[in-house]
Amino acid sequence: MRLVDRVKRGVVSRLARAFERERVSSSPVTNFILHPGAAVLPEGSVENLTEDRANIEIGRSSYVRGRLLTYAHGGRIRIGEWCYIGVRSEIWSMDSIEIGNRVLISHNVNIHDGTAHSANAVERHEHFHTMITRGHPKSADELPGVHSAPVIIEDDVWISFGVTILRGVRIGAGSIIAAGATVVDDVPPGVVYRCNITPQIVPLK
């Protein structure tokens, strides 16, 4: 065996052992479903504001080093088997985000299935005021001007670093999303997707 191969195997072996130590030592799961062999590592976090543990599910042998968040008024995150969520990646749901099996999500990736705030300044301020004074709204009726649509990421997708994926998008199986891309439309299976939104200035409605 060549020296390079031995070094590679040694590095992979040490990384696997480190993941296993972190998985075993992690604190008990109370607000989400964690399947056997899966782990939320110390730099990762889960904020399930819906308070229904069934709304966040991490599949077998998947590792989360980013943040998963559901809004108080709704949201669902499903991660399949053998997935990886990188450091500083943010997956926020107020509708539904479905991630298939063997999906690799690099660092600094943002996946959001909602607009988070209204385009109307008055509604936006009221939403912020409510969060500060009474906590996160518990009903969609308290969020005028906020829109959402499901995000679906199929099996064997690789999402490179710095990608942003917005509401209503489906990414087909086996596709690669190139670093820094912004995804606002469906991506077919088995392609490399490179896209940065061209700057646009449009009037508010």
* Residue 147 appears among annotated catalytic residues: no
Give the 3-state secondary structure of residue 96. coil
Are 100 and 77 contacting, i.e. CB atoms less than 8 angstroms apart?
no
Around Cβ 2, how many Cβ atoms within 10 Å? 7
Across the beta sheet with 158-159, what order do the strands follow? 39-40, 63-64, 84-85, 104-105, 158-159, 176-177, 192-193
93 near 116, Cβ under 8 Å? no
> From the centroid of its chain, how far is CA 177?
14
Question: Which residue in 35, 107, 117, 136 is the catalytic one?
Answer: 136
Return d(Cα 136, Cα 127) in angstroms, integer.
9
Active site residues: 136
